Amino acid sequence: MVICLVGADVEVKKWGNSLGVIIPHTIVKKLHLRDGSKIGLEISSKEKISGFGIAKGASSFKRELEEREF
């Protein structure tokens, strides 16, 4: 078993009734891939999430005073 971790950001595109991705040539060469090669695929979303308005409707911050001994 050979384990080789390679990462790349790719764009999902419509391919008939399905979706597909194109493996960049640099990765194809590095992993010696060819037609019919079996690979594993880990998928994660790279969507940007805006934090603007994330705390909308939350109560105001209230500082709690610590009791101190002098």
Query: Which range of residues forms the domain containing residue 27?
Result: 8-37
Residue 26 lies in a domain: yes
How does DSSP classify residue 55? T
Residue 36: pLDDT band with limits 50, 70, 90: very high
> In total, how many domains does the chain have?
1
Report the pLDDT value the prediction gives residue 7, as an integer from 0 to 100: 79
CB-based contacts of 43-48 (< 8 A; 24+ apart in sequence): 46/9
Residue 44 lies in a domain: no
Measured CA to CA, the distance from residue 30 to residue 46 in angstroms comes to 24
Q: Which of 1-5, 42-46, 56-60 has the lowest mean pLDDT?
A: 1-5
Residue 3: pLDDT band with limits 50, 70, 90: low
Given a cut of 70, whether residue 18 has pLDDT beyond it is yes
Report the pLDDT value the prediction gives residue 16, as an integer from 0 to 100: 94
Measured CA to CA, the distance from residue 24 to residue 17 in angstroms comes to 22
Residue 50 lies in a domain: no
